[in-house]
Protein backbone atom coordinates (compact mmCIF):
# COMPACT_ATOMS: atom_id res chain seq x y z
CA UNK A 1 0.00 0.00 0.00
CA UNK A 2 1.26 3.45 -0.93
CA UNK A 3 0.08 6.59 0.89
CA UNK A 4 0.62 10.24 0.01
CA UNK A 5 -0.37 13.52 1.63
CA UNK A 6 -1.34 16.81 0.05
CA UNK A 7 -2.02 20.33 1.20
CA UNK A 8 -4.38 22.89 -0.32
CA UNK A 9 -5.25 26.53 0.30
CA UNK A 10 -7.78 28.89 -1.25
CA UNK A 11 -9.14 32.35 -0.62
CA UNK A 12 -11.95 34.38 -2.17
CA UNK A 13 -13.23 37.90 -1.60
CA UNK A 14 -16.66 38.47 -0.03
CA UNK A 15 -18.97 40.66 -2.14
CA UNK A 16 -22.61 41.62 -2.21
CA UNK A 17 -24.87 40.08 -4.83
CA UNK A 18 -23.44 36.55 -4.67
CA UNK A 19 -24.62 33.41 -2.87
CA UNK A 20 -22.33 32.01 -0.20
CA UNK A 21 -21.35 28.40 -0.88
CA UNK A 22 -19.08 26.56 1.58
CA UNK A 23 -18.48 22.83 1.73
CA UNK A 24 -20.99 22.26 -1.03
CA UNK A 25 -23.92 23.85 0.81
CA UNK A 26 -25.54 27.26 0.46
CA UNK A 27 -25.38 29.41 3.57
CA UNK A 28 -27.53 32.38 4.49
CA UNK A 29 -25.30 35.48 4.53
CA UNK A 30 -25.51 39.01 3.21
CA UNK A 31 -22.42 38.44 1.05
CA UNK A 32 -21.06 35.65 -1.08
CA UNK A 33 -17.65 34.71 -2.45
CA UNK A 34 -16.43 36.19 -5.72
CA UNK A 35 -14.96 33.81 -8.26
CA UNK A 36 -15.24 32.34 -11.74
CA UNK A 37 -17.10 29.32 -10.31
CA UNK A 38 -19.34 29.38 -7.23
CA UNK A 39 -16.09 30.21 -5.34
CA UNK A 40 -16.47 27.51 -2.67
CA UNK A 41 -13.11 28.00 -0.95
CA UNK A 42 -13.40 24.80 1.08
CA UNK A 43 -13.95 22.60 -1.94
CA UNK A 44 -11.21 24.39 -3.88
CA UNK A 45 -8.70 23.82 -1.06
CA UNK A 46 -9.66 20.12 -0.94
CA UNK A 47 -9.30 19.79 -4.72
CA UNK A 48 -5.82 21.37 -4.60
CA UNK A 49 -4.79 19.07 -1.75
CA UNK A 50 -6.01 15.96 -3.61
CA UNK A 51 -4.35 16.98 -6.85
CA UNK A 52 -1.12 17.86 -5.05
CA UNK A 53 -1.03 14.55 -3.21
CA UNK A 54 -1.36 12.71 -6.55
CA UNK A 55 1.27 15.00 -8.15
CA UNK A 56 -1.29 16.24 -10.68
CA UNK A 57 -0.68 20.01 -10.45
CA UNK A 58 -3.53 22.21 -9.18
CA UNK A 59 -7.18 23.14 -9.63
CA UNK A 60 -6.37 26.06 -11.97
CA UNK A 61 -4.50 23.72 -14.30
CA UNK A 62 -7.40 21.29 -14.64
CA UNK A 63 -10.28 23.79 -14.38
CA UNK A 64 -8.94 27.17 -15.59
CA UNK A 65 -10.85 30.35 -14.85
CA UNK A 66 -10.38 31.31 -18.49
CA UNK A 67 -12.62 28.44 -19.63
CA UNK A 68 -16.26 29.33 -20.13
CA UNK A 69 -17.28 25.79 -19.22
CA UNK A 70 -16.42 26.52 -15.60
CA UNK A 71 -18.19 29.89 -15.32
CA UNK A 72 -20.47 29.77 -12.24
CA UNK A 73 -20.02 25.98 -12.04
CA UNK A 74 -21.03 24.16 -8.86
CA UNK A 75 -17.73 23.30 -7.16
CA UNK A 76 -19.12 19.89 -6.18
CA UNK A 77 -18.79 19.02 -9.87
CA UNK A 78 -15.12 20.04 -9.77
CA UNK A 79 -14.60 17.95 -6.63
CA UNK A 80 -16.15 14.86 -8.25
CA UNK A 81 -13.96 15.37 -11.32
CA UNK A 82 -10.91 15.73 -9.07
CA UNK A 83 -11.67 12.45 -7.27
CA UNK A 84 -12.06 10.82 -10.70
CA UNK A 85 -8.71 12.32 -11.81
CA UNK A 86 -6.75 10.92 -8.86
CA UNK A 87 -8.46 7.55 -9.43
CA UNK A 88 -6.84 7.42 -12.89
CA UNK A 89 -3.54 7.05 -11.01
CA UNK A 90 -5.00 4.40 -8.69
CA UNK A 91 -5.62 6.63 -5.67
CA UNK A 92 -8.59 6.83 -3.34
CA UNK A 93 -9.23 9.15 -0.43
CA UNK A 94 -7.98 8.06 2.97
CA UNK A 95 -9.10 11.10 4.91
CA UNK A 96 -9.41 14.88 4.75
CA UNK A 97 -8.74 17.45 7.45
CA UNK A 98 -9.83 20.98 6.56
CA UNK A 99 -10.19 24.36 8.24
CA UNK A 100 -12.32 27.32 7.13
CA UNK A 101 -11.27 30.78 8.34
CA UNK A 102 -14.21 33.21 8.54
CA UNK A 103 -15.47 35.76 11.04
CA UNK A 104 -19.06 35.26 9.89
CA UNK A 105 -21.27 33.43 9.34
CA UNK A 106 -20.75 31.08 12.26
CA UNK A 107 -20.30 27.60 10.79
CA UNK A 108 -20.39 25.16 13.70
CA UNK A 109 -24.02 24.13 13.23
CA UNK A 110 -23.55 23.54 9.47
CA UNK A 111 -20.37 21.47 9.59
CA UNK A 112 -22.20 18.10 9.75
CA UNK A 113 -24.15 19.08 6.58
CA UNK A 114 -20.86 19.97 4.86
CA UNK A 115 -19.28 16.66 5.92
CA UNK A 116 -22.23 14.64 4.62
CA UNK A 117 -22.38 16.57 1.35
CA UNK A 118 -18.67 16.32 0.64
CA UNK A 119 -18.50 12.64 1.61
CA UNK A 120 -21.38 11.86 -0.75
CA UNK A 121 -19.71 13.71 -3.65
CA UNK A 122 -16.36 12.01 -3.04
CA UNK A 123 -17.80 8.55 -2.41
CA UNK A 124 -16.30 8.24 1.05
CA UNK A 125 -17.54 8.05 4.62
CA UNK A 126 -18.40 11.30 6.41
CA UNK A 127 -16.13 10.17 9.26
CA UNK A 128 -13.23 10.56 6.81
CA UNK A 129 -14.02 14.27 6.28
CA UNK A 130 -12.98 16.52 9.16
CA UNK A 131 -14.01 20.17 8.89
CA UNK A 132 -13.13 22.80 11.43
CA UNK A 133 -14.00 26.50 11.56
CA UNK A 134 -12.04 29.33 13.09
CA UNK A 135 -11.80 33.10 13.04
CA UNK A 136 -8.70 35.26 12.84
CA UNK A 137 -9.73 37.23 15.94
CA UNK A 138 -10.68 40.17 13.70
CA UNK A 139 -7.15 40.38 12.25
CA UNK A 140 -6.30 40.69 8.56
CA UNK A 141 -8.63 40.46 5.55
CA UNK A 142 -10.60 37.65 7.18
CA UNK A 143 -11.03 39.62 10.37
CA UNK A 144 -12.25 42.63 8.42
CA UNK A 145 -14.72 40.28 6.67
CA UNK A 146 -13.24 41.03 3.25
CA UNK A 147 -12.86 37.35 2.40
CA UNK A 148 -12.84 33.74 3.54
CA UNK A 149 -9.97 31.27 3.31
CA UNK A 150 -9.68 27.51 3.68
CA UNK A 151 -6.90 25.02 4.25
CA UNK A 152 -7.01 21.28 3.59
CA UNK A 153 -4.71 18.35 4.22
CA UNK A 154 -5.52 15.02 2.63
CA UNK A 155 -4.26 11.47 2.74
CA UNK A 156 -4.67 9.40 -0.41
CA UNK A 157 -4.07 5.67 -0.71
CA UNK A 158 -3.05 3.38 -3.56
CA UNK A 159 -3.67 -0.32 -2.88
Strand partners, 10: 150
Name the burial class of residue 99, with classes exposed (0-12), middle (13-18) and buried (19+) by CB atoms within 10 angstroms of its CB: middle
Query: Would you say 37 is a known binding-site residue?
Result: yes
The reply to whether 29 sits in an annotated binding site is: no
Direct distance between the N- and C-terminal alpha carbons of the chain, in angstroms, rounded to an integer: 5
Annotation-wise, does 62 bind a ligand?
no
Q: Is 99 annotated as a binding residue?
A: no
88 is an annotated ligand-binding site residue: no
44 labelled as ligand-binding?
yes
10 in a labelled binding site? yes
| 103 appears as a binding residue in the annotation | no
Buried b (16+ CB within 10 A) or exposed e, 140-153: eebeeeebbbbbbb
> Known binder of ligand: residue 144?
yes
12 is in an annotated binding site: yes
Sequence ranges of the binding site:
10-12, 36-37, 44, 58-60, 134-137, 141, 144
Sequence ranges of the binding site for a divalent metal cation:
10, 12, 44
Amino acid sequence: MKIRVGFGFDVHRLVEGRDLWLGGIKLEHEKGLLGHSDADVLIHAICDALLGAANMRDIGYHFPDTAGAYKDIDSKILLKKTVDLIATKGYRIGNIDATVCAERPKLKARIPDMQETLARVMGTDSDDVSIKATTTEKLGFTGREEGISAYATVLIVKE
